[in-house]
Amino acid sequence: MSEKKQQVSRRQFLNYTLTGVGGFMAAGMLTPMIRMAVDPVLQPKKSGDLVAVVEVDKLTTEPQRFDWEIDQVDAWYESKVTKTAWVFIQEDDSILALSPICTHLGCTVSWEGNEEYPNQYYCPCHGGRYYKNGVNVPGLPPPAPLAVYDQDVKDGTLYLGKAISRKGA
């Protein structure tokens, strides 16, 4: 909610600034400068924000797939992006939320995506596989474990944020 408000005010702010400066050319030159100058203040920290994904009591020890949408802002525009996680409860009762993005070249992996490899995530592109905890099976294309989402549990709901790479881990 508060993000929405900030968005509007940021847009307004830019509008005012641009109008004030007057002239499209000048605006074109100035915008990047203004951006650099004010961005850290005005830009809501989306990447670090956690989003409610699922109630904890829906989770099991079997990885399940959950999808949610976020507003992604890059340098040019804002767009809705669907995020996906494989989430399950580990033996020590902690929750693990894994990114489905194969660390080889970025295809989407599925839990038990291939009948021949039960209990593993499977990448359909070049046969990459990962154990339940996301660690890559050695000797296959993926060079690193699946990334792990930043998480928080509040009032029985799991919130997920940014996927943190485990390359080199």
- Residue ranges of E strands in 11-125: 51-55, 64-73, 78-89, 95-98, 110-111, 121-122
Nearer to other proteins, 106 or 156 (CB): 106
Q: Binding other proteins by CB under 8 A: which of 108, 133, 151, 157?
A: 108
User: Tokens 């944020």 correspond to what residue?
Assistant: 161
Residue 101 identity (one-letter amino acid): I
CA gap 7, 119 in Å, rounded: 43
Q: Which helix (H) or strand (E) holds 22?
A: none
Nearer to ligand FES, 103 or 158 (CB): 103
Question: What pairing do the DSSP bridges indicate for beta strands 78-89 and 129-130?
Answer: unpaired
- Minimum Å distance from CB 77 to other proteins? 14
Binding mask 77-116 for ligand FES (x = CB under 6 A): -------------------------x-xxxx---------
- Asked if residue 139 binds other proteins (CB under 8 A), the reply is no
Choose among ligand FES, other proteins, none what residue 70 binds, the Cβ cut-off being 5 to 8 Å by kind. Answer: none
Contact 55, 158 (CB under 8 A): yes
Site residues for ligand FES per CB under 6 A: 102, 104-107, 123, 125-126, 128, 141-142
Site residues for other proteins per CB under 8 A: 102, 104-108, 123-126, 141
